[in-house]
Structure 1
Protein backbone atom coordinates (compact mmCIF):
# COMPACT_ATOMS: atom_id res chain seq x y z
CA UNK A 1 0.00 0.00 0.00
CA UNK A 2 1.16 3.49 -0.84
CA UNK A 3 1.16 6.77 1.07
CA UNK A 4 1.82 10.25 -0.30
CA UNK A 5 3.10 12.96 2.03
CA UNK A 6 2.75 16.56 0.90
CA UNK A 7 5.15 18.82 2.75
CA UNK A 8 8.80 18.20 3.61
CA UNK A 9 9.17 20.41 6.66
CA UNK A 10 9.80 19.11 10.16
CA UNK A 11 6.48 17.29 10.35
CA UNK A 12 6.77 15.78 6.86
CA UNK A 13 10.38 14.78 7.44
CA UNK A 14 9.64 13.05 10.73
CA UNK A 15 6.51 11.43 9.31
CA UNK A 16 8.51 10.03 6.39
CA UNK A 17 11.15 8.75 8.80
CA UNK A 18 8.50 7.08 10.97
CA UNK A 19 6.71 5.41 8.08
CA UNK A 20 9.93 4.24 6.44
CA UNK A 21 10.83 2.68 9.78
CA UNK A 22 7.58 0.75 9.55
CA UNK A 23 8.43 -0.40 6.00
CA UNK A 24 5.69 1.53 4.21
CA UNK A 25 5.97 2.64 0.60
CA UNK A 26 6.03 6.42 0.77
CA UNK A 27 6.40 9.27 -1.73
CA UNK A 28 7.00 12.80 -0.48
CA UNK A 29 6.19 16.02 -2.36
CA UNK A 30 7.95 19.27 -1.42
CA UNK A 31 8.01 22.59 -3.27
CA UNK A 32 11.44 23.71 -1.99
CA UNK A 33 14.24 22.27 -4.14
CA UNK A 34 16.94 22.30 -1.49
CA UNK A 35 14.68 20.61 1.03
CA UNK A 36 13.95 17.91 -1.53
CA UNK A 37 17.66 17.30 -2.04
CA UNK A 38 18.29 16.95 1.68
CA UNK A 39 15.40 14.53 2.20
CA UNK A 40 16.44 12.46 -0.83
CA UNK A 41 19.95 12.21 0.63
CA UNK A 42 18.65 11.12 4.03
CA UNK A 43 16.12 8.52 2.88
CA UNK A 44 15.82 5.83 0.27
CA UNK A 45 12.41 7.04 -0.82
CA UNK A 46 10.72 8.79 -3.74
CA UNK A 47 10.93 12.57 -3.29
CA UNK A 48 9.29 14.87 -5.82
CA UNK A 49 10.04 18.57 -6.21
CA UNK A 50 6.74 20.27 -6.90
CA UNK A 51 3.48 21.73 -5.66
CA UNK A 52 1.19 19.28 -3.87
CA UNK A 53 -1.88 21.15 -5.12
CA UNK A 54 -0.86 20.58 -8.76
CA UNK A 55 -2.71 17.70 -10.44
CA UNK A 56 0.25 16.72 -12.64
CA UNK A 57 2.59 16.61 -9.65
CA UNK A 58 0.13 14.43 -7.75
CA UNK A 59 -0.14 12.11 -10.74
CA UNK A 60 3.64 11.85 -10.95
CA UNK A 61 3.65 10.89 -7.27
CA UNK A 62 1.30 8.02 -8.04
CA UNK A 63 -1.83 9.38 -6.37
CA UNK A 64 -4.06 7.18 -8.50
CA UNK A 65 -2.62 4.14 -6.73
CA UNK A 66 -2.23 5.71 -3.28
CA UNK A 67 -4.32 4.58 -0.35
CA UNK A 68 -3.61 7.63 1.81
CA UNK A 69 -2.75 11.28 1.24
CA UNK A 70 -1.24 13.14 4.20
CA UNK A 71 -0.97 16.91 3.70
CA UNK A 72 1.35 18.26 6.39
CA UNK A 73 2.63 21.61 5.13
CA UNK A 74 2.74 24.69 7.35
CA UNK A 75 -0.30 26.13 5.57
CA UNK A 76 -3.79 24.96 6.52
CA UNK A 77 -5.10 26.32 3.22
CA UNK A 78 -2.61 24.28 1.17
CA UNK A 79 -3.37 21.17 3.20
CA UNK A 80 -7.11 21.62 2.71
CA UNK A 81 -6.82 22.15 -1.05
CA UNK A 82 -4.50 19.16 -1.41
CA UNK A 83 -6.89 16.86 0.44
CA UNK A 84 -9.92 18.12 -1.48
CA UNK A 85 -8.15 17.55 -4.80
CA UNK A 86 -7.25 14.04 -3.67
CA UNK A 87 -10.87 13.34 -2.75
CA UNK A 88 -12.65 15.00 -5.67
CA UNK A 89 -10.26 14.46 -8.57
CA UNK A 90 -8.67 11.14 -7.61
CA UNK A 91 -11.22 9.59 -5.23
CA UNK A 92 -8.51 8.86 -2.68
CA UNK A 93 -9.60 6.43 0.00
CA UNK A 94 -8.33 8.46 2.94
CA UNK A 95 -7.07 12.00 3.49
CA UNK A 96 -5.21 13.22 6.55
CA UNK A 97 -4.44 16.89 7.09
CA UNK A 98 -2.14 18.62 9.52
CA UNK A 99 -3.89 21.47 11.29
CA UNK A 100 -1.78 24.42 12.38
CA UNK A 101 -4.74 26.41 13.73
CA UNK A 102 -6.96 24.23 15.98
CA UNK A 103 -9.93 26.46 15.17
CA UNK A 104 -9.92 24.99 11.66
CA UNK A 105 -10.54 21.39 12.77
CA UNK A 106 -14.34 21.58 12.62
CA UNK A 107 -14.27 23.29 9.22
CA UNK A 108 -11.92 20.68 7.77
CA UNK A 109 -14.14 17.84 8.95
CA UNK A 110 -17.24 19.52 7.50
CA UNK A 111 -15.42 19.83 4.17
CA UNK A 112 -14.84 16.09 4.02
CA UNK A 113 -11.30 15.66 5.31
CA UNK A 114 -11.14 12.23 6.94
CA UNK A 115 -8.76 13.23 9.73
CA UNK A 116 -7.51 16.66 10.81
CA UNK A 117 -4.82 16.45 13.48
CA UNK A 118 -1.86 18.34 14.88
CA UNK A 119 0.61 15.68 16.04
CA UNK A 120 3.16 13.87 13.86
CA UNK A 121 2.83 10.68 15.92
CA UNK A 122 -0.96 10.75 15.64
CA UNK A 123 -0.70 11.16 11.85
CA UNK A 124 1.72 8.23 11.65
CA UNK A 125 -0.60 6.04 13.70
CA UNK A 126 -3.61 7.03 11.62
CA UNK A 127 -1.74 6.00 8.49
CA UNK A 128 -0.76 2.69 10.04
CA UNK A 129 -4.30 1.96 11.20
CA UNK A 130 -5.80 3.09 7.92
CA UNK A 131 -4.28 0.07 6.22
CA UNK A 132 -7.09 -1.96 7.64
CA UNK A 133 -9.01 -4.85 6.18
CA UNK A 134 -12.69 -5.02 5.39
CA UNK A 135 -13.19 -6.74 8.77
CA UNK A 136 -12.15 -3.78 10.90
CA UNK A 137 -11.38 -0.08 10.72
CA UNK A 138 -10.03 2.56 13.06
CA UNK A 139 -12.56 5.36 13.43
CA UNK A 140 -10.43 7.79 15.40
CA UNK A 141 -7.66 8.18 17.96
CA UNK A 142 -7.71 10.09 21.23
CA UNK A 143 -5.08 11.44 23.59
CA UNK A 144 -2.40 11.72 20.88
CA UNK A 145 -3.00 8.19 19.68
CA UNK A 146 -2.96 6.46 23.07
CA UNK A 147 -6.64 5.53 22.76
CA UNK A 148 -8.09 4.02 19.61
CA UNK A 149 -11.77 3.83 18.64
CA UNK A 150 -12.23 0.83 16.35
CA UNK A 151 -15.13 -0.78 14.49
CA UNK A 152 -14.95 -4.59 14.38
CA UNK A 153 -17.15 -6.42 11.86
CA UNK A 154 -18.51 -9.73 13.12
CA UNK A 155 -18.33 -12.59 10.62
CA UNK A 156 -19.73 -16.10 10.82
CA UNK A 157 -16.44 -17.64 11.90
CA UNK A 158 -15.56 -15.00 14.52
CA UNK A 159 -15.45 -16.34 18.06
CA UNK A 160 -17.66 -13.43 19.16
CA UNK A 161 -20.44 -14.44 16.77
CA UNK A 162 -23.60 -15.57 18.66
CA UNK A 163 -21.94 -14.93 22.04
CA UNK A 164 -23.43 -12.86 24.85
CA UNK A 165 -21.63 -9.76 26.06
CA UNK A 166 -21.49 -11.21 29.59
CA UNK A 167 -19.40 -14.12 28.28
CA UNK A 168 -16.66 -11.96 26.80
CA UNK A 169 -13.53 -11.56 28.88
CA UNK A 170 -11.63 -8.47 27.77
CA UNK A 171 -8.48 -6.79 29.07
CA UNK A 172 -9.01 -3.77 31.30
CA UNK A 173 -7.59 -1.64 28.45
CA UNK A 174 -10.54 -2.53 26.20
CA UNK A 175 -14.09 -1.19 26.54
CA UNK A 176 -17.02 -2.35 24.41
CA UNK A 177 -18.89 0.87 23.57
CA UNK A 178 -21.76 -0.11 21.27
CA UNK A 179 -23.07 -2.61 18.75
CA UNK A 180 -24.38 -1.40 15.41
CA UNK A 181 -26.97 -3.74 13.91
CA UNK A 182 -28.22 -2.42 10.60
CA UNK A 183 -29.55 1.05 11.37
CA UNK A 184 -29.87 0.37 15.09
CA UNK A 185 -27.35 1.31 17.78
CA UNK A 186 -27.38 -1.12 20.71
CA UNK A 187 -25.77 -0.20 24.03
CA UNK A 188 -24.25 -3.43 25.26
CA UNK A 189 -25.52 -5.12 28.38
CA UNK A 190 -24.67 -8.59 29.64
CA UNK A 191 -27.72 -10.23 28.06
CA UNK A 192 -27.12 -8.73 24.60
CA UNK A 193 -26.08 -11.31 22.02
CA UNK A 194 -23.55 -10.39 19.34
CA UNK A 195 -24.70 -11.57 15.93
CA UNK A 196 -23.12 -12.16 12.57
CA UNK A 197 -23.18 -8.90 10.60
CA UNK A 198 -22.94 -6.70 13.70
CA UNK A 199 -20.34 -3.96 13.95
CA UNK A 200 -18.86 -3.73 17.43
CA UNK A 201 -17.31 -0.43 18.52
CA UNK A 202 -14.51 -0.67 21.08
CA UNK A 203 -12.05 1.73 22.69
CA UNK A 204 -8.63 0.28 23.36
CA UNK A 205 -4.92 0.85 22.84
CA UNK A 206 -2.47 -0.18 20.14
CA UNK A 207 -1.24 -3.43 21.68
CA UNK A 208 -4.68 -4.69 22.66
CA UNK A 209 -6.05 -3.79 19.23
CA UNK A 210 -3.37 -5.94 17.64
CA UNK A 211 -4.43 -8.85 19.88
CA UNK A 212 -8.10 -8.29 19.08
CA UNK A 213 -7.42 -8.39 15.37
CA UNK A 214 -5.29 -11.52 15.75
CA UNK A 215 -7.91 -13.34 17.78
CA UNK A 216 -10.92 -12.33 15.69
CA UNK A 217 -9.53 -12.53 12.18
CA UNK A 218 -6.17 -14.28 12.15
CA UNK A 219 -6.88 -17.37 14.24
CA UNK A 220 -5.05 -16.40 17.41
CA UNK A 221 -4.81 -18.44 20.58
CA UNK A 222 -8.14 -17.16 21.99
CA UNK A 223 -6.89 -17.17 25.55
CA UNK A 224 -8.71 -14.13 26.84
CA UNK A 225 -11.54 -13.27 24.50
CA UNK A 226 -14.23 -15.73 25.47
CA UNK A 227 -15.24 -17.60 28.58
CA UNK A 228 -17.56 -17.57 31.54
CA UNK A 229 -16.84 -14.99 34.16
CA UNK A 230 -16.57 -16.42 37.65
Structure 2
Protein backbone atom coordinates (compact mmCIF):
# COMPACT_ATOMS: atom_id res chain seq x y z
CA UNK A 1 0.00 0.00 0.00
CA UNK A 2 1.30 3.46 -0.92
CA UNK A 3 0.81 6.00 1.87
CA UNK A 4 1.70 9.65 2.35
CA UNK A 5 2.25 10.91 5.89
CA UNK A 6 2.18 14.66 6.46
CA UNK A 7 3.93 15.57 9.69
CA UNK A 8 7.20 14.05 10.83
CA UNK A 9 6.89 14.58 14.58
CA UNK A 10 6.73 11.76 17.11
CA UNK A 11 3.40 10.42 15.83
CA UNK A 12 4.37 10.68 12.18
CA UNK A 13 7.80 9.16 12.82
CA UNK A 14 6.43 6.17 14.74
CA UNK A 15 3.66 5.66 12.16
CA UNK A 16 6.25 5.70 9.38
CA UNK A 17 8.45 3.21 11.21
CA UNK A 18 5.54 0.84 11.82
CA UNK A 19 4.32 0.97 8.21
CA UNK A 20 7.81 0.40 6.82
CA UNK A 21 8.26 -2.62 9.09
CA UNK A 22 5.03 -4.01 7.62
CA UNK A 23 6.29 -3.58 4.07
CA UNK A 24 4.34 -0.48 2.99
CA UNK A 25 5.64 2.15 0.60
CA UNK A 26 5.57 5.46 2.48
CA UNK A 27 6.48 9.07 1.71
CA UNK A 28 6.75 11.70 4.45
CA UNK A 29 6.19 15.44 4.04
CA UNK A 30 7.61 17.63 6.80
CA UNK A 31 8.11 21.40 6.85
CA UNK A 32 11.04 21.38 9.31
CA UNK A 33 14.34 20.75 7.52
CA UNK A 34 16.19 19.29 10.53
CA UNK A 35 13.34 16.84 11.19
CA UNK A 36 13.45 15.75 7.54
CA UNK A 37 17.19 15.09 7.78
CA UNK A 38 16.78 13.05 10.96
CA UNK A 39 14.03 10.90 9.41
CA UNK A 40 16.10 10.35 6.27
CA UNK A 41 19.09 9.27 8.37
CA UNK A 42 17.05 6.85 10.50
CA UNK A 43 14.68 5.28 7.98
CA UNK A 44 15.07 4.33 4.33
CA UNK A 45 12.09 6.16 2.85
CA UNK A 46 11.18 9.14 0.68
CA UNK A 47 11.19 12.37 2.71
CA UNK A 48 10.07 15.70 1.24
CA UNK A 49 10.86 19.02 2.88
CA UNK A 50 7.79 21.15 2.28
CA UNK A 51 4.31 22.29 3.21
CA UNK A 52 1.67 19.53 3.19
CA UNK A 53 -1.03 22.04 2.26
CA UNK A 54 0.82 22.94 -0.96
CA UNK A 55 -0.66 21.11 -3.95
CA UNK A 56 2.68 21.00 -5.78
CA UNK A 57 4.36 19.42 -2.76
CA UNK A 58 1.60 16.80 -2.60
CA UNK A 59 2.09 16.04 -6.28
CA UNK A 60 5.85 15.71 -5.79
CA UNK A 61 5.09 13.20 -3.04
CA UNK A 62 3.06 11.11 -5.48
CA UNK A 63 -0.45 12.02 -4.39
CA UNK A 64 -1.89 10.68 -7.65
CA UNK A 65 -0.69 7.16 -6.81
CA UNK A 66 -1.24 7.20 -3.05
CA UNK A 67 -4.07 5.13 -1.57
CA UNK A 68 -4.04 6.69 1.91
CA UNK A 69 -3.05 10.13 3.18
CA UNK A 70 -2.48 10.61 6.92
CA UNK A 71 -2.28 14.20 8.18
CA UNK A 72 -0.70 13.99 11.62
CA UNK A 73 0.73 17.46 12.21
CA UNK A 74 0.28 19.11 15.60
CA UNK A 75 -2.40 21.48 14.31
CA UNK A 76 -6.01 20.40 13.81
CA UNK A 77 -6.70 23.16 11.27
CA UNK A 78 -3.73 22.15 9.13
CA UNK A 79 -4.72 18.48 9.22
CA UNK A 80 -8.25 19.38 8.14
CA UNK A 81 -7.05 21.56 5.25
CA UNK A 82 -4.66 18.84 4.04
CA UNK A 83 -7.40 16.20 4.01
CA UNK A 84 -9.84 18.53 2.24
CA UNK A 85 -7.26 19.29 -0.46
CA UNK A 86 -6.69 15.56 -0.94
CA UNK A 87 -10.46 14.97 -1.23
CA UNK A 88 -10.71 17.73 -3.86
CA UNK A 89 -7.97 16.06 -5.89
CA UNK A 90 -9.52 12.61 -5.65
CA UNK A 91 -12.45 11.62 -3.46
CA UNK A 92 -11.47 7.95 -3.78
CA UNK A 93 -8.39 8.36 -1.59
CA UNK A 94 -8.71 7.54 2.11
CA UNK A 95 -7.86 10.35 4.49
CA UNK A 96 -6.87 10.07 8.13
CA UNK A 97 -6.51 13.17 10.31
CA UNK A 98 -4.94 13.55 13.72
CA UNK A 99 -7.29 15.48 16.00
CA UNK A 100 -5.76 17.09 19.06
CA UNK A 101 -9.02 18.55 20.41
CA UNK A 102 -11.72 15.84 20.85
CA UNK A 103 -14.41 18.47 20.21
CA UNK A 104 -13.25 18.65 16.57
CA UNK A 105 -13.93 14.94 15.90
CA UNK A 106 -17.54 15.40 14.79
CA UNK A 107 -16.74 18.43 12.64
CA UNK A 108 -13.96 16.58 10.82
CA UNK A 109 -16.24 13.64 10.04
CA UNK A 110 -19.06 15.94 8.91
CA UNK A 111 -16.62 17.62 6.51
CA UNK A 112 -15.84 14.31 4.83
CA UNK A 113 -12.66 13.14 6.56
CA UNK A 114 -12.72 9.34 6.45
CA UNK A 115 -11.08 8.66 9.80
CA UNK A 116 -9.88 10.70 12.75
CA UNK A 117 -7.36 9.81 15.43
CA UNK A 118 -7.64 11.52 18.79
CA UNK A 119 -4.98 10.46 21.28
CA UNK A 120 -6.91 12.25 24.04
CA UNK A 121 -9.97 10.04 23.48
CA UNK A 122 -7.88 6.87 23.25
CA UNK A 123 -6.08 7.67 26.51
CA UNK A 124 -9.40 8.43 28.21
CA UNK A 125 -10.72 5.02 27.15
CA UNK A 126 -7.58 3.31 28.44
CA UNK A 127 -8.05 5.03 31.79
CA UNK A 128 -11.67 3.85 31.90
CA UNK A 129 -10.48 0.30 31.21
CA UNK A 130 -8.22 0.51 34.23
CA UNK A 131 -11.04 1.84 36.39
CA UNK A 132 -13.64 -0.75 35.37
CA UNK A 133 -15.68 -2.11 38.29
CA UNK A 134 -16.62 -5.65 39.25
CA UNK A 135 -20.13 -5.17 37.83
CA UNK A 136 -18.85 -4.32 34.37
CA UNK A 137 -15.60 -4.00 32.50
CA UNK A 138 -14.31 -2.68 29.21
CA UNK A 139 -12.76 -5.57 27.27
CA UNK A 140 -11.39 -3.64 24.32
CA UNK A 141 -11.77 -0.54 22.19
CA UNK A 142 -12.05 -0.31 18.40
CA UNK A 143 -12.11 2.36 15.71
CA UNK A 144 -9.51 4.40 17.57
CA UNK A 145 -11.47 4.44 20.79
CA UNK A 146 -14.90 5.32 19.42
CA UNK A 147 -16.29 1.76 19.85
CA UNK A 148 -16.19 -0.23 23.08
CA UNK A 149 -16.57 -3.95 23.76
CA UNK A 150 -17.93 -4.20 27.30
CA UNK A 151 -18.98 -7.00 29.64
CA UNK A 152 -21.99 -6.37 31.93
CA UNK A 153 -22.71 -8.64 34.89
CA UNK A 154 -26.43 -9.35 35.44
CA UNK A 155 -27.54 -8.85 39.04
CA UNK A 156 -30.47 -10.66 40.63
CA UNK A 157 -32.37 -7.43 41.29
CA UNK A 158 -31.31 -5.77 38.04
CA UNK A 159 -33.77 -4.64 35.34
CA UNK A 160 -32.46 -7.14 32.76
CA UNK A 161 -32.56 -10.22 34.97
CA UNK A 162 -35.02 -12.92 33.71
CA UNK A 163 -35.97 -10.81 30.68
CA UNK A 164 -35.85 -12.03 27.10
CA UNK A 165 -33.56 -10.26 24.67
CA UNK A 166 -36.52 -9.17 22.52
CA UNK A 167 -37.99 -7.30 25.50
CA UNK A 168 -34.94 -5.10 26.05
CA UNK A 169 -35.13 -1.50 24.89
CA UNK A 170 -31.66 -0.67 23.62
CA UNK A 171 -30.28 2.41 21.88
CA UNK A 172 -29.38 2.05 18.21
CA UNK A 173 -25.72 2.62 19.11
CA UNK A 174 -25.65 -0.66 21.05
CA UNK A 175 -25.16 -4.18 19.66
CA UNK A 176 -25.89 -7.22 21.84
CA UNK A 177 -23.04 -9.63 20.97
CA UNK A 178 -23.27 -12.66 23.26
CA UNK A 179 -24.03 -14.08 26.70
CA UNK A 180 -21.48 -15.80 28.89
CA UNK A 181 -23.17 -18.29 31.20
CA UNK A 182 -20.56 -20.08 33.26
CA UNK A 183 -18.19 -21.58 30.71
CA UNK A 184 -20.77 -21.49 27.91
CA UNK A 185 -21.05 -18.86 25.20
CA UNK A 186 -24.62 -18.18 24.05
CA UNK A 187 -25.35 -16.24 20.86
CA UNK A 188 -28.66 -14.61 21.73
CA UNK A 189 -31.90 -14.70 19.81
CA UNK A 190 -35.07 -12.81 20.62
CA UNK A 191 -36.36 -15.56 22.92
CA UNK A 192 -33.06 -15.99 24.79
CA UNK A 193 -33.64 -15.33 28.49
CA UNK A 194 -31.05 -13.37 30.47
CA UNK A 195 -30.37 -14.97 33.85
CA UNK A 196 -28.78 -13.98 37.14
CA UNK A 197 -24.96 -13.91 36.94
CA UNK A 198 -24.96 -13.99 33.13
CA UNK A 199 -22.34 -11.76 31.56
CA UNK A 200 -23.67 -9.75 28.64
CA UNK A 201 -21.22 -8.72 25.93
CA UNK A 202 -22.12 -5.54 24.03
CA UNK A 203 -20.48 -3.21 21.55
CA UNK A 204 -21.37 0.45 22.01
CA UNK A 205 -19.83 3.88 22.59
CA UNK A 206 -18.76 5.71 25.74
CA UNK A 207 -21.93 7.73 26.21
CA UNK A 208 -24.34 4.81 25.81
CA UNK A 209 -22.21 2.62 28.07
CA UNK A 210 -22.44 5.18 30.85
CA UNK A 211 -26.25 5.25 30.49
CA UNK A 212 -26.46 1.45 30.52
CA UNK A 213 -24.29 1.24 33.62
CA UNK A 214 -26.53 3.80 35.33
CA UNK A 215 -29.64 1.80 34.40
CA UNK A 216 -28.29 -1.61 35.42
CA UNK A 217 -26.47 -0.71 38.61
CA UNK A 218 -27.56 2.75 39.77
CA UNK A 219 -31.27 2.82 38.93
CA UNK A 220 -30.74 5.47 36.25
CA UNK A 221 -33.17 6.40 33.48
CA UNK A 222 -32.96 5.41 29.82
CA UNK A 223 -31.76 8.77 28.47
CA UNK A 224 -31.49 7.54 24.89
CA UNK A 225 -35.27 7.23 24.39
TM-score of the two chains, using structure 1 as the length reference: 0.54
SS at match of 2:143: strand
Q: Which runs of 4+ in 1 moved over 3 A?
A: 142-147, 188-191
Indicate the SS of the match to 1:95. Answer: strand
Deviation at 1:93, TM superposition (A): 2.0
Q: Larger Rg: 1 or 2?
A: 2
Give the gaps of 5 or more residues in structure 1.
Answer: 123-139, 148-173, 177-187, 192-202, 204-230
- Cα offsets for 1:102-146 (capped at 9, x unmatched): 1100100110001111249x8xxxxxxxxxxxxxxxxx6154898
Q: 1:105 to 1:11 in 2, by over 3 A?
A: same
Please list the CA deviations of residues 30-68 of structure 1 after superposition, one character each: whole Å capped at 9, or x if unmatched. Answer: 001110000000000000000000000000111111110
Note the C-alpha offset of 1:90: 2.9
For residue 42 of structure 2, what is the aligned residue in structure 1?
42
Q: Secondary structure in 1 aligned to 2:73? A: coil
SS in 1 for 2:64: helix
- Cα contact 1:6–1:72 (8 A) shared by 2: yes
1:141 equivalent in alignment to 2:143: yes
Secondary structure of 2:100's aligned partner: coil
Which residue of the partner structure matches residue 9 of structure 1?
Answer: 9
Rounded to whole Å, the distance in 1 between the matches of 2:148 and 2:41 is: 33
Task: Identify the range of structure 1 (78-87 vs 91-100) with the bigger mean alpha-carbon deviation.
Answer: 91-100
Q: Which runs of 5+ in 2 are unaligned?
A: 123-141, 150-175, 179-187, 192-202, 204-225
CA root-mean-square deviation: 2.8
Structure 1 residue matching 2:19: 3-state secondary structure? helix
**CA pair 64-74 structure 1, distance change in 2 beyond 3 A:** same
1:27 aligns with: 27
* Alignment of 1:60 onto 2:64: no
Q: In the comparison of the two structures, how many residue pairs are matched?
A: 138
CA distances 1:153-189 after superposition (whole Å, capped 9, x unpaired)? xxxxxxxxxxxxxxxxxxxxx949xxxxxxxxxxx94
Tell me the TM-score normalized by structure 2.
0.55
> Using the alignment, how far apart are the partners of 2:92 and 2:63 within structure 1?
8
1:10/1:44 CA distance change after superposition, 3 Å? same
